[in-house]
Structure 1
């Protein structure tokens, strides 16, 4: 029985678009996400997390 990847969506860093499980190799994608809309926000999510980590006093290495 094959794994069901029908609800997995990825953001392709190479093509700058959302794609299903059957897409480019994992090293060129972010995900999986549960919807195409969520995958489309992948770069926004990365930026939000980076800003949060940069401003986290528990991880300030200055």
Structure 2
């Protein structure tokens, strides 16, 4: 049995703070994803935070502001 969601995967809904898939989807402006599994979608906000920190550090290196 595959863990991929119906019709393109699982999404994290920013509006309802839950995983959504299939016919149970909010508008695209409220979703992060698609993700291959429900577990990946549940970690969406953590991944966003980690990536933001990485990009912030890269920006600091680029501009010479790193400590």
Bin of the TM-score, shorter chain as denominator length: 0.7 to 0.9
Q: Which runs of no fewer than 5 residues in structure 1 stay unpaired?
A: none
4+ long deviations beyond 4 Å: none
Question: In terms of Rg, which structure is larger?
Answer: 2
Number of residue-to-residue matches in the alignment: 57
Q: Which runs of no fewer than 5 residues in structure 2 stay unpaired?
A: 1-5
Superposition RMSD on alpha carbons, in Å?
1.9
Tell whether 2:42 aligns with 1:40: yes
Task: Tell me by how many angstroms 1:21 deviates.
Answer: 3.5
Where do 1:1-62 residues align within 5 Å?
5=7, 8-22=9-23, 23-56=25-58, 57-58=61-62, 60=63
- When the two structures are superposed, what TM-score results if normalisation uses the length of structure 2? 0.75
Question: SS at the partner of 2:15?
Answer: coil
- When the two structures are superposed, what TM-score results if normalisation uses the length of structure 1? 0.81
